[in-house]
Chain A
Amino acid sequence: AQRVTQPEKLLSVFKGAPVELKCNYSYSGSPELFWYVQYSRQRLQLLLRHISRESIKGFTADLNKGETSFHLKKPFAQEEDSAMYYCALSNQAGTALIFGKGTTLSVSS
């Protein structure tokens, strides 16, 4: 079955500390993986996708097929990074998304 697992509901860190939001997936085939973010009072929006291999707002994510993981990382957290983060997988049709349950990141000074 296709599934996305985010084991942490809440991750609290101090400003300047490294951040790693975990995401594991199960999928038969070649997955497309994404991170979406929802800041307070804003809409859910795409943060990054694995095929882009880019860094957005200092965040990166590497697809590890051996470990079936797509962890989101940032070396130095900022307070404005506080938000809900969702890892997502595209299904076989290539369009609809399967989301994890999300991780709330709280960055305090």
Chain B
Amino acid sequence: DAGVIQSPRHEVTEMGQEVTLRCKPISGHNSLFWYRQTMMRGLELLIYFNNNVPIDDSGMPEDRFSAKMPNASFSTLKIQPSEPRDSAVYFCASSRGSLSSYNEQFFGPGTRLTVL
């Protein structure tokens, strides 16, 4: 099993451009999480899905950020328009989650986003 797959691994874009990050969770996992890692704030939860339904998006910084999970094997995180302060490493994680108990989260390799 390749684990959680994220693409691209690196993205460099200019301010104002749209950025789409992609994630493929581990097969059979029904919870998916998007995190952002910065030097200042560490690892922050942005949004998570259970059975393709967004459960908590309170961590999404503002309307420029949106996330979708159209099916059990794919999720996207979109930033439109991007700004330099969005530069960070974005991690996707998945688990055999339920809403009543914790299950280990498996992380992808991350996407390093640089907005110039």
Q: Which A residues form the contact surface with B (CB < 8 A)?
A: 32, 43-46, 49, 86, 90, 93-102
Check if B100 sits within 8 Å of A94, measured CB to CB: yes
- CB-CB under 8 A from A46, the residues of chain B are 104-105
Is B48 an interface position by the 8 A CB rule? yes
Mark each residue of chain B from 96 to 116: 1 if its CB lies under 8 Å from any CB of chain A, else 0: 011111111111111000000
* Of B31, B42, B100, the contact of A99 (CB 8 Å cutoff): B42
Give the number of residues in B that approach A within 8 Å (Cβ atoms): 31
Number of A-B contacts (CB under 8 A): 58
Candidate in B91, B100, B105 with the most chain A CB atoms within 10 angstroms: B105
Q: Which residue of B lies closest to A100 (CB)?
A: B42
Closest 7 CB pairs of A and B: A101-B42, A99-B43, A44-B107, A90-B102, A95-B97, A43-B107, A96-B48
Knowing that A44-B93, A95-B99, A98-B45 are A-B contacts, what are 20 other residue pairs whose CB atoms are under 8 Å apart, sorted by A's residue number?
A32-B102, A43-B4, A43-B108, A45-B106, A90-B102, A93-B56, A94-B98, A94-B99, A94-B100, A94-B101, A95-B55, A95-B95, A95-B97, A95-B98, A95-B103, A96-B48, A97-B45, A99-B35, A101-B43, A102-B42
Is B18 an interface position by the 8 A CB rule? no
Q: List 7 A-B contacts (CB under 8 A).
A: A32-B102, A90-B102, A94-B99, A95-B48, A96-B33, A97-B33, A99-B35
Is B14 an interface position by the 8 A CB rule? no
Q: Which B residues form the contact surface with A (CB < 8 A)?
A: 3-4, 31, 33, 35, 41-45, 48, 50, 55-56, 91, 93, 95, 97-110
Complex: how many Å from CA A94 to CA B105?
A: 12
Q: Which residue of B lies closest to A98 (CB)?
A: B45
Complex: how many Å from CA A76 to CA B101?
A: 34
Complex: how many Å from CA A95 to CA B56?
A: 11
- CB-CB under 8 A from A86, the residues of chain B are 42-43
Check if A99 sits within 8 Å of B48, measured CB to CB: no
Q: Which residue of A lies closest to B3 (CB)?
A: A43
